[in-house]
Amino acid sequence: DSGVTQTPKHLITATGQRVTLRCSPRSGDLSVYWYQQSLDQGLQFLIQYYNGEERAKGNILERFSAQQFPDLHSELNLSSLELGDSALYFCASSASVGGWTDTQYFGPGTRLTVL
């Protein structure tokens, strides 16, 4: 158990809908990262927050947004969902701002299925 929690574990929804994925980092970690894992794209970095502020953006679609709250939990909002958004979404956390020495610990993931 990495100490990172994600809810829900599974999510099934329809095209055009909006969903929210939730993540709580390990105790003491200030950075939260979101990744998407799909068969065609592999594991892709989406976005990072550090202590409530956005720090880095990857291949995140405009339909997707995220935030980190004062208690450091984070939410990833996915809207106008398409079939291609079906994927495993991971949250990870690390202790500091995210340098090359900063180990990221992953949550169990949320499996999103868009029908």
Among 38, 55, 61, 73, the residue binding another protein under the rule CB under 8 A is 55
Among 30, 60, 61, 88, the residue binding another protein under the rule CB under 8 A is 88
Q: Least distance to another protein from the beta carbon of 93, Å? A: 11
Cite the beta strand spans of 16-115 per DSSP E: 19-24, 31-38, 42-50, 53-57, 64-68, 74-78, 87-94, 105-106, 110-114
What distance in Å separates the CA atoms of residue 95 and residue 103, rounded to the nearest whole number? 8
Please report, as ranges, the residues that interact with another protein according to CB under 8 A: 2, 33, 35, 42-43, 45, 48, 55-56, 58, 88, 90, 92, 97-109, 111
